[in-house]
Structure 1
């Protein structure tokens, strides 16, 4: 029996090491010093709420001080009637009512690009940067497809900052006014945002 003790000790040691290794895998322990689990309560992530904002986006491409400028214009080789390949950078005013003179709520900053050869369909990437009240300095980020000839376009809200940290949701865009001579556009945005 004394001869078997070292064998059992070795087997017990191996079993113990395998168990520890398996336990580490199950618990998901990493040896990464730059990652740690967080307590939701410490970050103030207790009660998620939904907010609805209605505002008006003014895309001004005409005049001496446009809020949208084309930084890429389609090549003469490209005969697309949709403007495929055009890219505009924007710093568009967001107002409370359709009139540009109404209360300024913030700015839509980002870009849109003509991404469809079959219809006027834009790739939109923009932040709604708010400047009023408790929302001052907060943003929501919109990234999605905008087929502009459709009556109602839906695009996702993929994040935010400030009050809108961890935000998600969607926006509905409806063209309120379009001037075919100047190209200026006024769009009603209804934003549905889940946030903490």
Structure 2
């Protein structure tokens, strides 16, 4: 008859045996693609608008919420590695601040590059508050290199853009490197 100690010992040995052996895993980076039938009811929508990101002044649309600890911040460096901003940026029909507001981009971005290739992680919801897409939004989650022209990924949406996929081509029409203020032209292509 087994004692409690002997039973615990057997269970411990079995646990070690099962965790020490692992199943075979396919560790290739790429193992091939296959074609699947996609719904034929996808619509393609293209949008064009401007995003105003203002860090300076008395009424900024982007606010610093976290600074890097243990990182030397150079004077004039608004995005050192580890900084995090939240934003509530207006979306407008034209590049001017007096242009008609059609929505807001809300979210956060964080500086994720330690090298000379300044890069942000951009996470935002672009909600439209007027026109045909009033109440709908597109969701962006993407790497955002700090260059004049770039592409970010649309990974979802709400309302008329539910389950959206696509991309936004961003072009800086204005950028103040000292203050960090920018106006970005957005050419959006989404499938939904």
Name the TM tier (shorter chain): 0.7 to 0.9
TM-score with structure 2 setting the length: 0.73
Query: How far off is 1:182 after superposition?
Result: 2.5
Residue from 112, 119, 123 that aligns with 1:125? 123
1:53 aligns with 2:47: yes
| Deviation readout 1:40-87 (Å, 9 max, x if unpaired) | xxxxx8732111111111111111111100100122x21366510000
The residue number in structure 1 matching 2:145 is 147
Is there any run of 5+ residues in structure 2 with no aligned partner, and where?
A: 1-38
| Deviation readout 1:135-185 (Å, 9 max, x if unpaired) | 111110000011112x32111110000000111111111111012333211
Q: How many residues align?
A: 149
| Deviation readout 1:85-116 (Å, 9 max, x if unpaired) | 00000000011111111010100000000001
Query: How far off is 1:120 after superposition?
Result: 1.3
Secondary structure class of the residue paired with 1:163: helix
Structure 1 segment 110-189 matched on structure 2, within 5 A? 110-118=107-115, 119-149=117-147, 151-189=148-186
Larger Rg: 1
The residue number in structure 2 matching 1:62 is 56
Distance 1:139 1:123 in 2: 19
Distance 2:187 2:85 in 1: 22
Q: Is the Cα contact below 8 Å between 2:87 and 2:106 reproduced in 1?
A: yes
1:94 aligns with 2:91: yes
CA RMSD of aligned residues (A): 1.5
Q: Which has the higher helix share?
A: 1
| 4+ residue segments displaced more than 4 Å | none
